[in-house]
Amino acid sequence: MLTSPYAHAWIKSVDCSEAETIPGVVAILTHENCPDSVYTTAGQGYPEPSPYDQRMFPRKVRHVGDRVAAVLAETQGIAEEALRHIKVEYEVLEPVLSIAQAKIAGIKSGAPVIHGGEVSYVAGSAPEGTETEGDGRDDPIIYQFPIHADPHRNLAASAADGIGDMDKGFAAADKVIERTYKTDRVQCTPLEPHVVFATIEAGRLVMRASTQVPWHVRRIVAKAIGISENRVRVIKERVGGGFGSKQDIVVEDVAGYLAWTTGRPVYFRYTRKEEFIASRTRHPMEITVRLGARKDGTLTAILMKLDADTGPYGQHCLTVPMNAISKSLPLLLCDNARFEVKSYYTNLSPAGAYQGYGAPKGSFALQTALAEMADALGIDQLAMIEKNRVRSGATIEILKSLGEGRAGNAVTLGTCGLGEMIQRGREAFGWDKPKPQSTDPDWAIGRGAVIIQQGSGLPGLDAANAEVRLLSDGTLLMLSGGADLGTGLDTVTAKTAAEIMGLDVSDVTVISGDTDITPFDKGAYASSGTYFSGSAALRAAEDLRQKVLEVSQAILGEPVSDLRIAYHGMVTGKRGSISLAELGHRSVQGEGHGELSGYGSFKTDHAAFPYGAHFVQVAVNRRSGEVTVQRYHAYQDCGTPINPALAKGQIYGAVLKSIGHSLYEEMIFDDKGRCLNPNFLDYKIPTIAEVPEDFHVELMPVADEVGPFGAKSVSEISVNGAAPAIAIAIHDAVGVWMREWPFTPARILEALGVLH
């Protein structure tokens, strides 16, 4: 891939004539010969809430690393040689490198605009007063969803709503504070980069991809190429890490088009530098929180104003910022609450999905602001949390306003285990005991605690399906649409089927994420794997069990009500029994009942919220600004943990990633929009060396009414805790509030007044 050296520029001309003469060059693709269709690369349910603002190769490049040309060649060396012979002439434009600069387009005439194309809306989705005319030479933008946007002012999406009376709420407060919190751009850093192998087999495009969303890949690639979905097969191979970045279609569209048009097998793998500059990052956000509270700590009003940087394209531009609100604001019960969300285009690396999907930023802002209010009122931080937290039986009215563009619903909780988690942490962490004191005068020790939440898939939107077949020897073949990206989902679905059918896990083989073989599943995102894909597997196994009992009834001469499945794979009644192996053998011998298969489909309007309470102790060096995480305790509810070891592994990993974001991970750009640290030498990620000496994870199950065996999600929630907890602990240690992550030594020393 030839990529743009400029953050913002028109491509005036591309001359590929010399490159095309090089032996071994098969094809060269640019904006002049690629398909004209516009689409979004976000793997989301249809109709997508992300704008269609991308073309396979744009006429205008919008970030350093944007696509200019792709060379398909016999070898990598030939392709790289051909790139050096492509001549490109650019008209360089002024870049937009921050949210503040993006806003200027709405104030100052002639300020740089990133998307100047004509804007169109499907019926019923156009917000009132939105401009539709644009620069005729730019690619158009199509909205499929009611997003309040104005791309001609660099506004990609917006939303605002609330409950109660904000003026009344703040008037009733004894104390009002307003704070602004900032988070910077961080990379998803999967160890396996984006990679795809595309072939043509029997006249069809077959794509073997490292993806979280095989069905979305099929749909979006088919649209981008201009062929029907039945001509495309996507096989999700074993994924070497995704963390949200592989929820997007990043390499599959170009590889698929080149394979389809040339008939040649195409292998495309990002370099590490390409992962940084052209893959997906976490959305930077600036969140202003205004809180009103009475003297006893009771909140009277909460206002959250959020500005997000979505980068040059709008994949996830509405849903990520909205999730920052919907996974933080409902944690606190307050009659007067409002949010205002705006997402802006910039010319920095593309932002998208990342583990937590916006929630870590909302949690950082609101939980830290709550601690700042407790400090202002002279109230114990945990007491402040306990005074205002959500609890069992509470009705969360604000969720009516948090439907990500659609109308939401107020939710009345069943059992909420936060009280038990807070109390367990208070005791086990020693919250009420005196802090340890450092023997070195340069070091100070502090502690912090937060409560966190996440969801379990998207109720009312997501769907999952599964099929389980009884084989001739009594073992099972599970066909799951779910996409295991290293989270252990295949193990969860296997355990589910084995439990229902009285077998060992080794008796179940899982095939997952193949759009030709397995039934539809929306994919691995929104913490939906166990809850949605696991529920579909459970229902498929239950359907198979019922069919097995009905067939056994005729063989054993006993009613279904007298039959049950016992370990190991036996159908037993009051007078006799038959093995699953015998039933499976009869099914292939023409005994009349045919192959026994169970089918399961799962969709729900029920919202299952996992909760957690996280406690941290840090040491801060007043002279160097260094921060060391000494202790970290996570008390976590994931409902019934189907695989406790895997569940704990998810929590350990999420906490470590969030420690990295909090203390040192940060993509650094120069004034031209170029990333200065696009590699693992200069961009640091957590390693085993960052594991706290006292790292304690404890599962505190609160069974869900709908989830499989009472399970909820666990894969994302724990990434929400470290940033606010560490910020609070730093204040407890040295008395300064850190309101921008990462909390680097320089920023800490600046807050202490050591650096100016």
Domains of the chain, earliest start first:
159-186+281-358 (3.30.365.10), 195-269 (3.30.365.10), 383-456+607-752 (3.30.365.10), 464-602 (3.30.365.10)
**pLDDT in the model for residue 591:** 67
Is residue 407's pLDDT more than 80?
no
- The tokens of 679 are what? 């590699």
Whether the predicted pLDDT of 23 surpasses 70: yes
Mean pLDDT over residues 590-600, rounded?
A: 85
Locus of tokens 């994949």 = 315
Helices (H), 524-596: 534-556, 580-587
**Residue 167 pLDDT class (50, 70, 90 cuts):** very high
pLDDT at 129: 44
127 has a pLDDT exceeding 60: no
Residue 403 has pLDDT above 80, yes or no: no
- For the chain, percent of residues with pLDDT exceeding 70: 97
Cα–Cα distance, 341 to 178 (Å, whole number) = 17
Extract the runs of DSSP E, i.e. beta strands, from 187-331: 195-201, 204-209, 232-236, 266-269, 285-293, 299-311
Q: What would the mean pLDDT of 106-133 be, rounded to a whole number?
A: 75
Residue 755 confidence (pLDDT):
81
Contact 254, 56 (CB under 8 A): yes
Please give the sequence-ordered ranges of beta strands (E in DSSP) within 626-669, or none if there are none: 627-636
| Tokens describing residue 571 | 């159908």
3-state secondary structure of 18: helix
> Three-state DSSP class for 453?
strand
pLDDT over 70 (residue 589): yes
- For residue 738 the two structure tokens come to 């850190």
Q: Look up residue 2 and give its amino acid.
A: L
Res. 181: pLDDT tops 90: yes
Task: Using a pLDDT cut of 90, give the percent of the chain over it.
Answer: 91
Question: What per-residue confidence (pLDDT) applies to 476?
Answer: 98
pLDDT for position 22: 98
Four-CA torsion 648, 649, 655, 659, nearest 10 degrees: 150
CA torsion 668-753-286-367 (nearest 10°) is 120
Mean pLDDT for 332-341 is 98
> How many Å apart are CA 666 and CA 668, to the nearest integer?
6
Q: CA–CA separation, 369 vs 724, rounded Å? A: 9
* Contact yes or no for 126/143 (Cβ under 8 A): yes
- Does residue 219 register a pLDDT over 90? yes
The answer to whether the pTM exceeds 0.85 is: yes
Dist. CA 244–CA 186, nearest whole Å: 12
- Residue 718 has what pLDDT? 97
Q: What is the pLDDT of residues 692-740, one digit of tens each?
A: 999 999 999 999 999 999 999 999 999 999 999 999 999 999 999 999 9
- In this prediction, residue 703 carries a pLDDT of 95
Q: Residue 733: which residues within 8 A CB-CB, separation 6 or more?
A: 444, 445, 446, 618, 619, 620
Note the Cα 185 to chain centre separation in Å.
15
What whole-number distance in Å separates Cα of residue 676 and Cα of residue 397?
45
Answer whether 360's CB lies under 8 Å from 338's CB: no
For residues 165 and 301, what is the distance between their CA atoms, to the nearest angstrom? Answer: 8
Band the pLDDT of 134: cuts 50, 70, 90: low
Residue 145 has a pLDDT of 84
Mean pLDDT of the chain: 95
What's the confidence (pLDDT) of residue 135? 59
What is the pLDDT at residue 128? 47
pLDDT bracket for residue 147 (50, 70, 90): confident
Average pLDDT score over residue span 380-397: 96
